[in-house]
Protein backbone atom coordinates (compact mmCIF):
# COMPACT_ATOMS: atom_id res chain seq x y z
CA UNK A 1 0.00 0.00 0.00
CA UNK A 2 1.17 3.55 -0.76
CA UNK A 3 0.64 4.67 2.86
CA UNK A 4 2.87 1.83 4.10
CA UNK A 5 5.88 2.78 2.02
CA UNK A 6 5.49 6.46 2.98
CA UNK A 7 5.37 5.49 6.67
CA UNK A 8 8.47 3.35 6.16
CA UNK A 9 10.28 6.32 4.60
CA UNK A 10 9.28 8.55 7.52
CA UNK A 11 10.30 5.97 10.14
CA UNK A 12 13.67 5.16 8.56
CA UNK A 13 14.41 8.85 8.14
CA UNK A 14 13.77 9.36 11.86
CA UNK A 15 16.25 6.55 12.58
CA UNK A 16 18.79 8.21 10.29
CA UNK A 17 18.95 5.24 7.91
CA UNK A 18 19.95 7.17 4.81
CA UNK A 19 20.63 4.15 2.61
CA UNK A 20 17.24 2.57 3.38
CA UNK A 21 15.50 5.92 2.81
CA UNK A 22 17.13 6.20 -0.63
CA UNK A 23 16.05 2.64 -1.53
CA UNK A 24 12.49 3.27 -0.34
CA UNK A 25 12.21 6.56 -2.22
CA UNK A 26 13.44 4.84 -5.39
CA UNK A 27 10.97 1.98 -4.84
CA UNK A 28 8.08 4.39 -4.26
CA UNK A 29 8.90 6.25 -7.48
CA UNK A 30 9.13 2.91 -9.31
CA UNK A 31 5.69 2.00 -7.98
CA UNK A 32 4.29 5.23 -9.39
CA UNK A 33 3.81 7.19 -6.14
CA UNK A 34 3.75 10.94 -6.92
CA UNK A 35 7.08 12.60 -6.02
CA UNK A 36 5.31 15.42 -4.16
CA UNK A 37 3.49 12.81 -2.04
CA UNK A 38 6.79 11.06 -1.25
CA UNK A 39 8.25 14.42 -0.22
CA UNK A 40 5.28 15.59 1.86
CA UNK A 41 4.06 12.36 3.45
CA UNK A 42 7.39 10.51 3.65
CA UNK A 43 10.42 12.80 4.02
CA UNK A 44 8.86 16.02 5.34
CA UNK A 45 6.54 14.08 7.65
CA UNK A 46 9.55 12.29 9.16
CA UNK A 47 11.47 15.53 9.55
CA UNK A 48 8.39 17.10 11.20
CA UNK A 49 8.46 14.38 13.88
CA UNK A 50 12.20 14.95 14.38
CA UNK A 51 11.52 18.68 14.87
CA UNK A 52 8.82 18.01 17.46
CA UNK A 53 10.98 15.52 19.40
CA UNK A 54 14.03 17.82 19.31
CA UNK A 55 11.96 20.68 20.68
CA UNK A 56 10.67 18.46 23.48
CA UNK A 57 14.24 17.36 24.34
CA UNK A 58 13.33 13.76 23.50
CA UNK A 59 16.21 13.60 21.01
CA UNK A 60 19.42 15.61 20.68
CA UNK A 61 21.78 17.16 18.12
CA UNK A 62 23.37 13.88 16.86
CA UNK A 63 19.98 12.29 16.10
CA UNK A 64 18.86 15.44 14.28
CA UNK A 65 22.03 15.48 12.20
CA UNK A 66 21.67 11.86 11.03
CA UNK A 67 17.97 12.32 10.30
CA UNK A 68 18.74 15.47 8.31
CA UNK A 69 21.39 13.56 6.37
CA UNK A 70 18.84 10.86 5.51
CA UNK A 71 16.38 13.60 4.54
CA UNK A 72 18.93 15.19 2.21
CA UNK A 73 19.84 11.86 0.59
CA UNK A 74 16.17 11.08 -0.05
CA UNK A 75 15.52 14.59 -1.34
CA UNK A 76 18.46 14.28 -3.78
CA UNK A 77 16.60 11.43 -5.53
CA UNK A 78 13.41 13.49 -5.72
CA UNK A 79 14.97 16.79 -6.79
CA UNK A 80 15.31 16.05 -10.55
CA UNK A 81 11.85 14.45 -10.71
CA UNK A 82 10.24 17.39 -8.91
CA UNK A 83 12.08 19.89 -11.11
CA UNK A 84 10.86 18.02 -14.23
CA UNK A 85 7.30 18.40 -12.99
CA UNK A 86 7.90 22.07 -12.23
CA UNK A 87 7.43 21.60 -8.49
CA UNK A 88 9.80 23.96 -6.70
CA UNK A 89 10.72 24.56 -3.09
CA UNK A 90 8.13 26.11 -0.76
CA UNK A 91 10.28 29.24 -0.53
CA UNK A 92 13.84 30.51 -0.27
CA UNK A 93 15.88 31.73 2.69
CA UNK A 94 19.39 33.01 3.17
CA UNK A 95 21.20 31.91 6.34
CA UNK A 96 24.51 32.76 7.97
CA UNK A 97 26.37 33.32 11.22
CA UNK A 98 27.02 37.02 11.66
CA UNK A 99 30.34 38.85 11.21
CA UNK A 100 33.01 38.03 13.79
CA UNK A 101 31.31 34.79 14.83
CA UNK A 102 32.58 31.35 13.80
CA UNK A 103 29.99 29.14 15.56
CA UNK A 104 28.01 27.19 13.01
CA UNK A 105 26.54 24.07 14.66
CA UNK A 106 23.24 25.76 15.56
CA UNK A 107 23.09 27.59 12.24
CA UNK A 108 23.54 24.27 10.41
CA UNK A 109 20.75 22.71 12.45
CA UNK A 110 18.40 25.58 11.61
CA UNK A 111 19.33 25.20 7.95
CA UNK A 112 18.65 21.47 8.03
CA UNK A 113 15.33 21.86 9.82
CA UNK A 114 14.23 24.47 7.29
CA UNK A 115 15.37 22.29 4.39
CA UNK A 116 13.48 19.48 6.06
CA UNK A 117 10.33 21.62 5.81
CA UNK A 118 10.86 22.17 2.08
CA UNK A 119 12.56 25.58 2.14
CA UNK A 120 15.52 26.13 -0.21
CA UNK A 121 18.42 27.42 1.87
CA UNK A 122 21.29 29.59 0.67
CA UNK A 123 24.03 29.08 3.23
CA UNK A 124 26.52 31.94 3.52
CA UNK A 125 28.57 30.18 6.18
CA UNK A 126 30.13 32.00 9.15
CA UNK A 127 31.59 35.48 9.73
CA UNK A 128 29.09 37.02 7.30
CA UNK A 129 29.07 40.85 7.06
CA UNK A 130 25.67 42.59 6.99
CA UNK A 131 25.84 43.71 3.31
CA UNK A 132 26.45 40.10 2.22
CA UNK A 133 23.07 39.02 3.70
CA UNK A 134 21.36 41.71 1.64
CA UNK A 135 23.30 40.91 -1.53
CA UNK A 136 22.53 37.19 -1.24
CA UNK A 137 18.82 37.81 -0.63
CA UNK A 138 18.73 39.98 -3.77
CA UNK A 139 20.76 37.58 -5.93
CA UNK A 140 18.61 34.61 -4.98
CA UNK A 141 15.19 36.23 -4.61
CA UNK A 142 14.97 34.99 -1.01
CA UNK A 143 12.07 36.14 1.16
CA UNK A 144 13.73 35.36 4.50
CA UNK A 145 17.12 36.27 5.96
CA UNK A 146 18.24 34.13 8.92
CA UNK A 147 21.00 35.33 11.26
CA UNK A 148 22.66 33.25 13.93
CA UNK A 149 24.99 34.56 16.68
CA UNK A 150 26.53 32.72 19.63
CA UNK A 151 28.58 35.49 21.23
CA UNK A 152 27.37 38.47 23.22
CA UNK A 153 30.06 40.40 21.38
CA UNK A 154 28.69 39.52 17.91
CA UNK A 155 24.93 39.62 18.45
CA UNK A 156 25.09 43.40 17.92
CA UNK A 157 25.96 42.60 14.31
CA UNK A 158 22.36 41.44 13.87
CA UNK A 159 21.24 45.04 14.27
CA UNK A 160 23.52 45.96 11.35
CA UNK A 161 21.83 43.26 9.25
CA UNK A 162 18.37 44.59 10.18
CA UNK A 163 19.41 48.23 9.50
CA UNK A 164 21.05 47.30 6.18
CA UNK A 165 17.99 45.43 4.94
CA UNK A 166 15.48 47.99 6.25
CA UNK A 167 17.39 50.73 4.43
CA UNK A 168 17.26 48.83 1.14
CA UNK A 169 14.59 48.23 -1.47
CA UNK A 170 14.01 44.80 0.11
CA UNK A 171 12.70 46.42 3.32
CA UNK A 172 9.11 45.28 2.81
CA UNK A 173 9.91 42.12 0.90
CA UNK A 174 12.20 40.25 3.27
CA UNK A 175 11.56 38.94 6.80
CA UNK A 176 14.54 38.85 9.16
CA UNK A 177 14.81 35.97 11.61
CA UNK A 178 17.31 35.91 14.46
CA UNK A 179 18.48 33.29 16.95
CA UNK A 180 21.39 31.80 18.85
CA UNK A 181 22.15 31.20 22.54
CA UNK A 182 22.51 34.86 23.70
CA UNK A 183 19.61 36.19 21.58
CA UNK A 184 16.18 36.79 23.16
CA UNK A 185 12.73 37.95 22.08
CA UNK A 186 13.41 41.27 23.84
CA UNK A 187 16.58 41.75 21.80
CA UNK A 188 14.77 40.80 18.60
CA UNK A 189 12.14 43.47 19.32
CA UNK A 190 14.79 46.04 20.25
CA UNK A 191 16.62 45.73 16.93
CA UNK A 192 13.44 45.48 14.85
CA UNK A 193 13.93 41.93 13.52
CA UNK A 194 10.77 40.12 12.45
CA UNK A 195 11.14 36.92 14.40
CA UNK A 196 13.12 35.25 17.18
CA UNK A 197 13.17 31.49 17.65
CA UNK A 198 14.81 29.69 20.57
CA UNK A 199 15.55 26.51 18.63
CA UNK A 200 15.87 25.08 15.14
CA UNK A 201 12.47 23.40 15.03
CA UNK A 202 10.61 26.60 16.03
CA UNK A 203 12.69 28.54 13.52
CA UNK A 204 11.53 26.21 10.74
CA UNK A 205 7.91 26.63 11.83
CA UNK A 206 8.27 30.42 11.95
CA UNK A 207 9.83 30.44 8.48
CA UNK A 208 6.97 28.37 7.06
CA UNK A 209 4.50 30.82 8.56
CA UNK A 210 6.26 33.68 6.70
CA UNK A 211 6.18 31.76 3.43
CO1 LIG B 1 32.55 29.01 21.59
N2 LIG B 1 31.67 30.08 22.97
N3 LIG B 1 33.92 30.39 21.41
N4 LIG B 1 33.36 27.78 20.32
N5 LIG B 1 31.33 27.76 22.12
C6 LIG B 1 30.35 29.55 23.47
C7 LIG B 1 29.18 30.11 22.67
C8 LIG B 1 30.39 30.07 24.98
C9 LIG B 1 28.99 30.25 25.60
C10 LIG B 1 31.28 29.14 25.83
C11 LIG B 1 31.44 29.61 27.25
O12 LIG B 1 32.22 30.47 27.53
N13 LIG B 1 30.71 29.04 28.17
C14 LIG B 1 31.19 31.41 24.82
C15 LIG B 1 30.37 32.67 24.55
C16 LIG B 1 30.28 33.58 25.75
C17 LIG B 1 29.46 34.76 25.42
O18 LIG B 1 29.60 35.42 24.45
N19 LIG B 1 28.54 35.02 26.33
C20 LIG B 1 32.12 31.06 23.69
C21 LIG B 1 33.36 31.73 23.41
C22 LIG B 1 33.75 32.80 24.40
C23 LIG B 1 34.16 31.42 22.31
C24 LIG B 1 35.49 32.05 21.91
C25 LIG B 1 35.56 33.58 22.07
C26 LIG B 1 36.57 31.36 22.75
C27 LIG B 1 37.96 31.91 22.59
O28 LIG B 1 38.54 31.77 21.55
N29 LIG B 1 38.40 32.55 23.65
C30 LIG B 1 35.66 31.61 20.46
C31 LIG B 1 35.04 32.62 19.48
C32 LIG B 1 35.35 32.32 18.07
C33 LIG B 1 34.49 33.16 17.16
O34 LIG B 1 33.37 32.81 16.90
N35 LIG B 1 35.03 34.28 16.72
C36 LIG B 1 34.86 30.34 20.45
C37 LIG B 1 35.13 29.27 19.61
C38 LIG B 1 34.45 28.07 19.60
C39 LIG B 1 34.85 26.88 18.75
C40 LIG B 1 35.41 27.25 17.36
C41 LIG B 1 35.89 26.11 19.52
C42 LIG B 1 33.53 26.04 18.75
C43 LIG B 1 32.60 26.33 17.52
C44 LIG B 1 32.66 25.23 16.49
C45 LIG B 1 31.58 25.40 15.46
O46 LIG B 1 30.53 25.97 15.69
N47 LIG B 1 31.89 24.88 14.31
C48 LIG B 1 32.82 26.56 19.98
C49 LIG B 1 31.75 25.89 20.64
C50 LIG B 1 31.43 24.50 20.13
C51 LIG B 1 31.03 26.47 21.71
C52 LIG B 1 29.98 25.82 22.61
C53 LIG B 1 30.70 24.83 23.51
C54 LIG B 1 28.84 25.10 21.91
C55 LIG B 1 28.06 25.94 20.91
C56 LIG B 1 27.13 25.03 20.15
O57 LIG B 1 27.43 24.61 19.04
N58 LIG B 1 25.99 24.64 20.77
C59 LIG B 1 29.40 27.08 23.40
C60 LIG B 1 29.06 26.77 24.85
C61 LIG B 1 27.71 26.16 25.00
O62 LIG B 1 26.75 26.58 24.35
N63 LIG B 1 27.59 25.23 25.87
C64 LIG B 1 30.40 28.12 23.13
C65 LIG B 1 25.05 23.67 20.19
C66 LIG B 1 24.11 24.38 19.20
C67 LIG B 1 23.14 23.35 18.63
O68 LIG B 1 23.40 25.34 19.92
O69 LIG B 1 24.31 27.23 18.54
O70 LIG B 1 22.83 27.69 20.56
P71 LIG B 1 23.20 26.86 19.40
O72 LIG B 1 21.94 26.74 18.44
C73 LIG B 1 20.64 26.43 18.88
C74 LIG B 1 19.80 27.66 19.23
O75 LIG B 1 20.55 28.72 19.77
C76 LIG B 1 19.08 27.98 17.96
O77 LIG B 1 18.90 26.72 17.34
C78 LIG B 1 19.98 25.85 17.66
C79 LIG B 1 19.46 24.45 17.85
O80 LIG B 1 18.20 24.35 18.41
N81 LIG B 1 19.64 28.88 16.96
C82 LIG B 1 18.81 29.61 16.16
C83 LIG B 1 20.90 29.10 16.57
N84 LIG B 1 20.93 29.97 15.56
C85 LIG B 1 19.65 30.30 15.26
C86 LIG B 1 19.09 31.14 14.30
C87 LIG B 1 17.69 31.27 14.24
C88 LIG B 1 16.89 30.60 15.15
C89 LIG B 1 17.43 29.75 16.11
O90 LIG B 1 17.03 32.05 13.36
C91 LIG B 1 17.67 32.50 12.24
> Residues 130-150: pLDDT tens digits?
999 999 999 999 999 999 999
CA–CA separation, 173 and 144 (whole Å): 9
Residue 89 pLDDT > 80 = no
Q: Do 109 and 57 fall within a single domain?
A: no
> Do residues 180 and 127 share a domain?
yes
Which atom of ligand 1 is found nearest the CA of 61? Answer: 67
Q: Are residues 44 and 133 in the same domain?
A: no
Quote the domain boundaries for residue 64: 2-84
Of the listed ranges 38-52, 72-86, 97-111, the least confidently predicted one is 72-86
Q: Are residues 124 and 202 in the same domain?
A: yes
Q: Same domain, yes or no, for 153 and 95?
A: yes
pLDDT of residue 116: 79
Domain boundary among 84, 100, 124: 84
Q: Output DSSP code: residue 98.
A: B
Q: What is the CATH number of the domain that holds 72?
A: 1.10.1240.10
Same domain, yes or no, for 120 and 76? Answer: no
Of 28, 61, 84, the position where a domain reaches its end is: 84
pLDDT of 12 > 80? The answer is: yes
29 and 110 belong to one structural domain: no
Q: Are 113 and 82 in contact (CB under 8 A)?
A: no
Q: Predicted confidence band at 87 (pLDDT cuts at 50, 70, 90)?
A: low
Q: Whose CA is nearest to atom 88 of ligand 1?
A: 179
Task: Examine the domain organization and report whether 21 and 124 are in the same domain.
Answer: no
Q: Give, for ligand 1, the residue of 51, 54, 63, 106 to mutate: max count of ligand atoms closer than 8 Å to Cβ.
A: 106
Is the domain of 165 the same as that of 124?
Answer: yes
pLDDT at 85 exceeding the cut of 80: no
Is the domain of 47 the same as that of 103?
no
Q: Which residues line ligand 1 (CB under 6 A)?
A: 61, 100-107, 109-110, 146-148, 150-153, 177-182, 197, 199-200, 203
CA nearest ligand 1 atom 51, residue: 103
Closest by CA to 175, choosing from 210, 202, 147, 204, is 210
For 176-196, the pLDDT digits (tens) are: 999 999 999 999 999 999 999
Q: Which of 49-58, 83-92, 164-173 has the lowest average pLDDT?
A: 83-92
User: Into how many domains does the chain fold?
Assistant: 2
Same domain as 61, residue 118: no
Whether residues 57 and 95 share a domain: the answer is: no
Which residue's C-alpha comes closest to atom 72 of ligand 1?
A: 106
Residue 159 has what pLDDT?
A: 98
Q: Of 154, 60, 137, 156, which is closest to residue 102 (Cα–Cα)?
A: 154
HSE, side-chain direction, 13 A CA sphere, residue 8 = 15
Contact (CB, 8 A) for 197 and 61:
no
Amino acid sequence: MVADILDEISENLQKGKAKVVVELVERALGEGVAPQKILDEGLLAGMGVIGTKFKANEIFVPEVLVAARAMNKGAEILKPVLAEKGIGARGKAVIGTVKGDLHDIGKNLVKMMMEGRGIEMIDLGVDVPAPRFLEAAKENGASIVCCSALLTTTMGEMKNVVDTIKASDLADKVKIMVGGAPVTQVYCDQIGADSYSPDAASAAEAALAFI
